[in-house]
Amino acid sequence: MPKPFAFFSFDNGVPKNRLGLDNAEALALVERDLTFTRMAEIHEGSAPEATRGTFDLEHLRAIHQHIFQDVYEWAGTTRNHTLRVEGQQVEPPASMYKDDGRLPLRFVPSRLVESSLNATFDALREQNHLQGLSREEFAERAAVAFAHINDAHPFMEGNGRTQREFISQLAEQAGHSLNFDVVSAERMSIVSYEARAGDLGGMRRLFQEISDPTRVAVLGHAQEVLSARHFDWQSTYITTAIPGEHYSGVKAFHDPDTLIIREDREFILVAQSGDVPPQGVRVDFTASPYPQPDVQAQLQTEPVTLKGLSLEDFAVAAARRLAATVQGGDLSPTQVRETARELAQAGERKVNLNVITEERLGRDVQAARQGQVQGFERMFQEAGHPPTVQLMQRAMHSLELQGRDPQGLYLTAAQPGQQYEGRVETRNVRAAVIADSEGRHLVTHPASLKGAVELEHGRVQFTAQDGQRNQMQMEL
C-alpha cells in the first residue's frame, strides 16, 4: 500500500532525493550541475530519442526523466501517479500550488493533469505543431501552449526546465528560436502567475521578445550592464519597450546601444538608446520599432564579385548571399550545400563542406531564416581553411571509431584564444572534442586541454590553442 504524501519530503519540506540532501540550498546547487549535464546531452543528441519526440505527454515525460534522473527516483512521473521515493511507493498530492508570497493559485488538480496536457498537445497537433507561421503568430500561439502546460504543472519538481526545453524544441521544429536566458526569474514567476489567473498578456509579450533576435540582444546587453554593476537583475521584472507605446521614468543607464529605465523598485524597462536625448535624468518618450535584420539590404553593400577577397571577407559576403537564398525559398539541405559550393566556385575558393554536419547545417539554416548569418560565416571560414578542415576530419574519424555518428552533432572548430567550458567527449593526439552547454561539439587541438581547469561532473574550462600555429583568420 502506498505511503502517504508526507513521506515525499524531509521534515523541513525539502523533497527526498537520490543524493540524500535535506538542505534546500545544497540540493539546488548539486541539482543545477547534474541537470546541466543532462540537458547538454539532449542538445547534443546523445540523450534517448524519446527526449526529442512527437510533442505529446510521453515526450514531456521523457525530457523530465532524462534531466532529473540523477536527482529523483520518480523523474518522469507525473503527479497523477504514485511516486517512487526511497524505494517506496508514495501517494501523490490531490493538488499543489507555488508558495512564492503571492495569493495562492492552485495548479490543475492531480487527477486532471493528463487530460489537461493531452488537450494542449491535441491542440498543437491540430495546428501542425505551429509550423508555417510568422514569428509573431508563432510567439502568440506558443505562449498559450506554454501557459497551459505550466498550469498543468505535471511534476512535483523541475517543471520550469522541462517546459522550456519542450517548447524550445517545438520552436526549433517550426523554424523559430526562443531564448529564455534573457528572462529574469522574477519576470517568469509573475507572468506565469498572471497566466494562471487568466491574464495571458505578460506571457504573450515575453514570447514576442524572446523570439525576436533584436530584442533578445537588447535585453542581453542590458543584463550585462546590470551584472557589471552588481545588480541582481534575476530578482527584477525586466522587459523591453513595446514599439508605439508611451513611457516615462528615471534614466538608470544610457549608452550608444541601450537605454535602461527604472520605473520602480521592481520593474526595469529596456529601450533603444536613440529613443531619448543623452541629456536629462527623467525621460518621456514613445518607443520606436526595433530594426530587423535585412539581409537583402546588406547584400547591396557587398562586393559585386566574390573573387579576390580574403577568406574572412569572402565568408561574410558568401554567408549573406546564402542566407538571402535560404530566406527566399524552402531549400532542402542538399540544395543549401549546393548553393554554398556554387558561391565558393564564384569566389574561386576551395571549401570542403563535408566537414559541415547535417545537424550543424540544419541549425544554421534556421538561424539564417531569423536573420542570423554568423553560423554561415563560420561555416565558410572553417570549410575554407585547410588546417581546420584537417582537424575537423580527424575529430569526425575519432567519433566514428567510438561508434558515434558525427552527422547528428553540431560540430564546429573552437576559435584560438577563446575560452570555453564543457565535457570532453573524445581526445587523442590528433584532435579533441568538447561538448558545451549550447549543444555544440567544439573541435580543438589536444594541446588546448593541457592547461585545462577541471570543474565538477567531468567538465573542463580551457582556452583554445592553435596547435598547428595557423590562425583561422590568416589569409590563404
Cα–Cα distances in angstroms (integers) from residue 213 to residues 135, 177, 197, 220, 321, in the given order: 11, 8, 29, 10, 20
pLDDT one-digit tens code per residue, 139-154: 999 999 999 999 999 9
Q: Which of 78, 75, 73 is nearest to 88 (CA)?
A: 73
How is residue 294 written as a grid cell?
535585412
- Say if CB 3 and CB 89 are below 8 A apart: yes
pLDDT one-digit tens code per residue, 189-229: 999 999 999 999 999 999 999 999 889 888 988 988 898 88
Residue 7 and residue 79: Cα distance in Å, rounded? 15
Q: 471 pLDDT band (50/70/90 cuts)?
A: very low
Q: Which of 100-104, 272-276, 286-290, 418-422 has the lowest mean pLDDT?
A: 100-104
Q: 437 pLDDT band (50/70/90 cuts)?
A: confident
Residue 235 and residue 189: Cα distance in Å, rounded? 10
- Say if CB 445 and CB 414 are below 8 A apart: no
Instruction: Write the burial class of residue 81 (CB in 10 Å: 0-12 exposed, 13-18 middle, 19+ buried).
Output: middle
How is residue 283 written as a grid cell?
525621460
Whether 5-178 shares its CATH topology with 213-286 is answered: no
Task: Please give the pLDDT value at position 476.
Answer: 35
**What ranges in 231-351 are assigned the alpha helix state H?**
295-299, 311-328, 333-346
Class of domain 5-178: mainly alpha
What is the sign, positive or negative, of the torsion defined by CA atoms of 107, 153, 125, 165? positive
Q: Which of 103-112, 258-267, 408-417 has the lowest mean pLDDT?
A: 258-267
Contacts of 384 (CB under 8 A, 6+ apart): 311, 314, 315, 344, 349, 350, 351, 476
Q: 467 pLDDT band (50/70/90 cuts)?
A: low
pTM of the model: 0.65
- Phi/psi-derived region of residue 417, left when phi > 0, alpha when psi is between -120 and 50, beta in every other case: left
Residue 198 and residue 413: Cα distance in Å, rounded? 47
Task: Please give the pLDDT value at position 304.
Answer: 56
How is residue 108 written as a grid cell?
490543475
Task: Please give the pLDDT value at position 210.
Answer: 95
pLDDT one-digit tens code per residue, 85-117: 999 999 999 999 887 777 788 899 999 999 999
Q: Which residue has better confidence, 348 or 155?
A: 155
Contacts of 365 (CB under 8 A, 6+ apart): 326, 331, 333, 336
- Return mean pLDDT, the chain: 89
Residue 88 and residue 475: Cα distance in Å, rounded? 65
Say which amino acid occupies 162. T
470, pLDDT greater than 50 = no
Q: Which residue has better confidence, 420 or 330?
A: 420
Q: 419 pLDDT band (50/70/90 cuts)?
A: confident
- Say if CB 306 and CB 318 are below 8 A apart: yes
Cα–Cα distances in angstroms (integers) from residue 357 to residues 177, 379, 467, in the given order: 20, 10, 23
* 3-state DSSP of 185-208: HHHHHHHHHHHHCCCCHHHHHHHH
Q: 330 pLDDT band (50/70/90 cuts)?
A: confident
Cα–Cα distances in angstroms (integers) from residue 102 to residues 99, 106, 159, 192, 205, in the given order: 7, 12, 19, 12, 22
DSSP, collapsed to helix, strand or coil, labels residue 51 as helix
Task: Please give the pLDDT value at position 356.
Answer: 95
What is the sign, positive or negative, of the torsion defined by CA atoms of 240, 244, 250, 256? positive
Residue 219 and residue 239: Cα distance in Å, rounded? 7
Find the mean pLDDT for residues 404-409. Answer: 92
472, pLDDT greater than 70 = no
Domain boundaries in the chain?
A: 5-178, 213-286, 295-384, 390-463
Q: 469 pLDDT band (50/70/90 cuts)?
A: very low
Task: Give the single-character DSSP code of 329.
Answer: S
> What superfamily would CATH give domain 213-286?
Nucleic acid-binding proteins (2.40.50.140)
